[in-house]
Amino acid sequence: MDGTAGTVRTSVTEREAAAIDAAAARAEENAVPAGPGRTADGHAIDLMVNIGSAADLDGADLTGVAGVGLFRTEFLFLGRREEPDLDEQ
């Protein structure tokens, strides 16, 4: 299945399968940060994560992450009868 192209193939040759596997491995390797972030002209930038709760960090690969860029605090209030105290926030 090629989600980008929107195609599904029911059979491929061994050579095609090897090329697909190699492309998937390259894509996975490129998806992981390999050091500090930099713009094309060399300026350092921090990689930040956006989370809705502290549970979003459980099991997350935080390699190269400098901190939390956006924390969706409104989610702390959902499903509660009383607002969270300051320690919870």
Task: Give residue-wise pLDDT tens across range 10-61.
Answer: 899 999 999 989 998 988 887 766 677 888 898 999 889 988 887 888 988 8
CA pair distance 49, 66, nearest whole angstrom: 8
Same domain? 41 vs 74 = yes
Burial string for 56-88 (b: 16+ CB within 10 Å, else e) reads: eeeeeeeeebeeeeebeeeebeeeeeeeeeeee
Domain range for residue 21? 1-31
Same domain? 40 vs 21 = no
Same domain? 25 vs 40 = no
Same domain? 15 vs 49 = no
At 33 the pLDDT is 66
Same domain? 43 vs 83 = yes
Same domain? 1 vs 42 = no
**How many distinct structural domains can be found in the chain?**
2
Q: What is the rounded average pLDDT of the residues 65-79?
A: 84
CA pair distance 27, 25, nearest whole angstrom: 5
